[in-house]
Amino acid sequence: MRALVTTAPSGSQDEAEELARRFGLVAELRKGRLVPELLAAAQGAPVLVVGSRRADLFDGDRSFRASTGMGFLRLVRARKGDADPLVKAAALARGDEVLDATLGLAQDALVATEATQERIVGLEASPVLAAFVVAALRRLPGAASEAAARIEVRCADHRTALRELPSGSFDVILLDPMFRAAQEANPLFDLLRRHGEHAPLDPVTLREARRVARRGVLVKDAAPGAELTRLDLVPLPSRRTARIVFGWAPAE
């Protein structure tokens, strides 16, 4: 059974239908039903409920309010002049064209597009997560709405998408596979654990990403960077206490 999208009393059926069409989910009229009734209708699949100001994903015994996790806070900090570690590691600058091939909650995409002021394409393999993040981006406070609107969410597996892209299509490609998910305490990581694509990054995909990049590929890993080492990448210097490390693979 595919995930359902429906509305809260304040929500728009048009939005539910648009998200369903875009990400291959099923739009369901609410018809006054309570969440347990909707979950029963979904037969074990999650239910995304869109309201005017918030959206929630009901998933078995859990619910997740649509959010971009730390994305908004990182955006605010970046605007205050704090250097975001990802922006620094990829040396992102105004005008760079970026592909975030592991969009997740679009936390990295938000700070990346803030640095570049350009549109950014985000690939997410999970239809549920893609719909969730679109709903979350649309509901960010006004201060973030311009940055959010520059993120073009596509539901696609980057292993196929990268193979199909012409060489040198983007300046920088971001890859943040599910290496670290097991260690994260943030409840939204439970959502990523439940619905995210868990396949490790393979060397063939990394090579494709280097071909598609004009400058290079930034890969994120948990410290000390065991996955980076597996991929023959050298972790970039970071604070001794950093929980995240980055590896840079120059374009080929």
Ligand X SMILES: C[S@@+](CC[C@H](N)C(=O)[O-])C[C@H]1O[C@@H](n2cnc3c(N)ncnc32)[C@H](O)[C@@H]1O
- Residue 120 DSSP symbol: E
In whole angstroms, what is the distance from residue 207 CA to residue 252 CA? Answer: 8
Is residue 159 close enough to count as binding ligand X by CB under 6 A? yes
Which is nearest to 181 in space by CA: 173, 190, 170? 190
- Identify residue 167 by its one-letter amino acid code: S
Checking DSSP bridges between strand 213-222 and strand 170-175, what pairing results, if any?
A: parallel
The count of chain residues that interact with ligand X, using the rule CB under 6 A, is 22
Decide whether 47 or 128 has the Cβ nearer to ligand X. 128
Decide whether 52 or 160 has the Cβ nearer to ligand X. 160
In angstroms, the first-to-last Cα distance of the chain is 42
Checking DSSP bridges between strand 170-175 and strand 98-100, what pairing results, if any?
A: parallel
Is residue 157 close enough to count as binding ligand X by CB under 6 A? yes
Is residue 178 close enough to count as binding ligand X by CB under 6 A? yes
Containing H/E element for 78?
A: helix 71-79
In whole angstroms, what is the distance from residue 155 CA to residue 103 CA? Answer: 9
Q: How far is the CB of 78 from ligand X (least distance, A)?
A: 13
- For Cα atoms 188, 189, 192, give the angle at the middle one, nearest 5 degrees: 100
Q: Which residue is nearest to ligand X (CB)?
A: 104
Q: How far is the CB of 166 from ligand X (least distance, A)?
A: 19
Question: Which one among 16, 48, 98, 105 touches ligand X, defined by CB under 6 A?
Answer: 105
Instruction: Answer for the pair 105, 69: CB distance below 8 angstroms, yes or no.
Output: yes
Q: Interface with ligand X by CB under 6 A: which range of 76-84, 98-106, 145-153, 237-245?
A: 98-106
Edge to edge, the sheet with strand 26-27 lists 26-27, 4-7, 47-50, 55-59, 62-65
Question: Which one among 6, 7, 67, 102 touches ligand X, defined by CB under 6 A?
Answer: 102
Decide whether 38 or 111 has the Cβ nearer to ligand X. 111
Tokens representing 52 are 């005017």
Is residue 177 close enough to count as binding ligand X by CB under 6 A? yes
In whole angstroms, what is the distance from residue 86 CA to residue 53 CA? Answer: 29
Is residue 190 close enough to count as binding ligand X by CB under 6 A? no
Q: How far is the CB of 14 from ligand X (least distance, A)?
A: 26
For residues 48 to 67, the per-residue mask of contacts with ligand X, x marking binding by CB under 6 A and - elsewhere, is --------------------
Is residue 122 close enough to count as binding ligand X by CB under 6 A? no
Is residue 41 close enough to count as binding ligand X by CB under 6 A? no
Is residue 107 close enough to count as binding ligand X by CB under 6 A? yes
Query: What are the residues binding ligand X (CB under 6 A)?
Result: 69, 102, 104-108, 123-126, 129, 157-159, 176-178, 181, 192, 196-197
